[in-house]
């Protein structure tokens, strides 16, 4: 067996010790981890600088990678907040006695070993490890090579916290960053129970294609907001602008504005001002293009087919004008990545039809798609936003880091 597989086996073995440890002792590990992060800030920042220094000053990755005293403080706080969430394992989901006397219960148990593949954000290392330790899971982390020094020192802190409370450091394993080892992880069905890719569409596609281990897909969000004929336009402007500009680099930000033809011109004139302030580039269909050209919108292009269903992750969006609700729904069905979708409308029947028809992890009526987030939903830190339908949909947070187990207690029952 390769050294990596041998380590996976050790992690699998260690997982049962954590699963059986009481929630209190797992929380003691987290308390120590938060303290270690605070006490060792200077040391962590020094390692982080080694990574950051290799990135060009104007590259967006630099900010994603950068840790500061403030960010480390927030990271320690988030570890403490995970401690305060209820233990998702050990819940009795059902309990009954079958006619033959067999006592049958279904309980939640930790998943086992969780594999997470992520790119440059080093906070993922701490967030994911904290969530896994809290829920009794072991974790294999495969971070990006750009964050190598940062991830290494952070995992050192995690190992020291585990050791302090008598747990094996095998519970949290940071893999080497060679690309070839990703395949080892994706095919280790015997040792890894679930793999969660966090990052670019290319990463998710690779995992989907190669993984033999069950996977939770997270990430890609092509999010629409439909402004209906009955919409209160000032509210629609607020929602659309917020959904686009409050944090364009994240998956729940707006990508396409869908407009009912009857309010399109008026809405566009209103929304043009704030969007222009944020230099939002607009890829407009022909109808919207005319109106925006009339008001001399400066960052305007004609949309091509590829601008619909496109995740912009930047100060940019596309606009589609539709005849009616059915056309809006057809457009969304066709281009949505089933992450977050919204309608702005004053018509309850129309809005409820939209909410029940649109197939997405989260659907909103008169609210911004930016709310799709574990923290906002009151679930605590999340491992990602699941855009698939099995197991977890939407924020994949602590409560979903468990599976079920059926337990039958008999007195000799046979079938």
Which residues are at the interface with a copy of itself (CB under 8 A)? Answer: 16, 20, 96, 98, 102, 104, 111-112, 189, 193-194, 208-209, 212, 214-217, 232, 235, 238-239, 242-243, 246, 355-357, 359-368, 370-372, 376-378, 388-394, 403-415
Q: Which is nearer to a copy of itself, 142 or 393 (CB)?
A: 393
Q: Which is nearer to a copy of itself, 271 or 284 (CB)?
A: 271
Retrieve residue 192's tokens. Answer: 């890894």
Q: Which is nearer to a copy of itself, 153 or 342 (CB)?
A: 342
Number of neighbouring beta carbons within 10 Å of residue 227: 27
- Nearest-approach distance from CB 98 to a copy of itself, in angstroms: 7
Retrieve residue 193's tokens. Answer: 């129970």
Please give the sequence-ordered ranges of beta strands (E in DSSP) within 323-358, or none if there are none.
340-344
Contact 282, 316 (CB under 8 A): yes
- How far is Cα 127 from Cα 382, in angstroms, rounded to an integer? 8
Retrieve residue 22's tokens. Answer: 């009481």
- Nearest-approach distance from CB 238 to a copy of itself, in angstroms: 6
Contact 271, 244 (CB under 8 A): no
Please give the sequence-ordered ranges of beta strands (E in DSSP) within 36-187, or none if there are none.
92-97, 103-110, 113-118, 138-142, 172-174
Q: Which is nearer to a copy of itself, 113 or 128 (CB)?
A: 113
- How far is Cα 217 from Cα 159, in angstroms, rounded to an integer? 28
CA gyration radius, the chain: 24
- How far is Cα 353 from Cα 267, in angstroms, rounded to an integer? 23
- Nearest-approach distance from CB 93 to a copy of itself, in angstroms: 11
Q: Which residues pair with 225 in a beta bridge?
A: 257, 342
Q: Which is nearer to a copy of itself, 20 or 56 (CB)?
A: 20
The enclosing H or E element of 161 equals: helix 148-164
- Nearest-approach distance from CB 371 to a copy of itself, in angstroms: 6
For residues 25, 26, 27 and 31, what is the CA-based torsion angle, rounded to 10 degrees?
A: 100
- Nearest-approach distance from CB 53 to a copy of itself, in angstroms: 33
Q: Which is nearer to a copy of itself, 116 or 147 (CB)?
A: 116
| Residue of 111, 124, 114, 123 lying closest to 198 (CA atoms) | 124
- Nearest-approach distance from CB 289 to a copy of itself, in angstroms: 27
- Nearest-approach distance from CB 129 to a copy of itself, in angstroms: 20
Cα–Cα–Cα angle for 152, 157, 163, nearest 5°?
A: 120
Please give the sequence-ordered ranges of beta strands (E in DSSP) within 132-181, or none if there are none.
138-142, 172-174
DSSP state of 381: S
- Nearest-approach distance from CB 411 to a copy of itself, in angstroms: 6
Q: Which is nearer to a copy of itself, 266 or 359 (CB)?
A: 359
- Nearest-approach distance from CB 67 to a copy of itself, in angstroms: 24
- How far is Cα 76 from Cα 133, in angstroms, rounded to an integer? 15
């Amino acid at each position: 067996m390769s050294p990596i597989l041998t380590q996976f086996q050790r992690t699998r073995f260690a997982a049962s010790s954590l699963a059986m440890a009481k929630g209190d002792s797992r929380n003691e590990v987290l308390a120590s981890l938060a303290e270690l992060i605070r006490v060792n800030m200077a040391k962590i920042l020094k390692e982080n600088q080694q990574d950051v220094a290799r990135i060009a000053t104007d590259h967006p990755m630099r900010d994603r990678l950068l840790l500061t005293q403030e960010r480390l403080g927030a990271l320690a706080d988030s570890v403490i907040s995970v401690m305060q969430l209820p233990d998702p394992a050990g819940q009795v989901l059902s309990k009954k006695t079958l006619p033959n006397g067999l006592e049958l219960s279904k309980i939640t148990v930790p998943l086992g070993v969780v594999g997470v593949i992520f790119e440059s954000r080093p906070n993922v290392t701490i967030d994911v490890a904290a969530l896994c330790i809290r829920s009794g899971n072991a974790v294999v982390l495969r971070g990006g090579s750009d964050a190598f020094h940062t991830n290494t020192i952070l995992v050192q802190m995690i190992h020291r916290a585990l050791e302090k409370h008598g747990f094996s450091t095998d519970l949290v394993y940071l893999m080497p960053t060679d690309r070839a080892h990703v395949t080892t992880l994706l095919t280790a069905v015997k040792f890894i129970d679930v793999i969660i890719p966090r990052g670019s569409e290319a990463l998710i596609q690779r995992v989907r294609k190669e993984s033999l281990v069950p996977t939770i897909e997270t990430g890609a969000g092509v999010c629409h907001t439909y402004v209906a004929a009955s919409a209160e336009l000032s509210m629609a402007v607020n929602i659309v602008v917020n959904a686009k500009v409050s944090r364009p680099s994240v998956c729940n930000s707006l990508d396409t504005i869908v407009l009912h033809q009857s309010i399109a011109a008026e809405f566009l004139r209103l929304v043009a001002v704030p969007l222009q302030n944020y230099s939002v580039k607009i890829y407009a269909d022909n109808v919207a293009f005319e109106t925006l050209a009339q008001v001399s919108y400066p960052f305007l292009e004609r949309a091509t087919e590829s601008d619909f269903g496109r995740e912009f992750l930047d100060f940019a969006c596309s606009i589609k004008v539709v005849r009616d609700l059915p056309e809006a729904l057809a457009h969304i069905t066709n281009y949505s990545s089933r992450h977050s979708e919204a309608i702005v409308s004053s018509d309850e029947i129309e809005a409820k039809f939209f909410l029940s028809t649109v197939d997405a992890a989260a659907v909103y009526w008169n609210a911004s798609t930016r709310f799709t987030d574990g923290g906002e939903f009151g679930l605590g830190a999340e491992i990602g936003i699941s855009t698939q339908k099995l197991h977890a949909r939407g924020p994949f947070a602590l409560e979903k880091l468990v599976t079920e187990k059926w337990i039958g207690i008999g007195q000799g029952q046979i079938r």
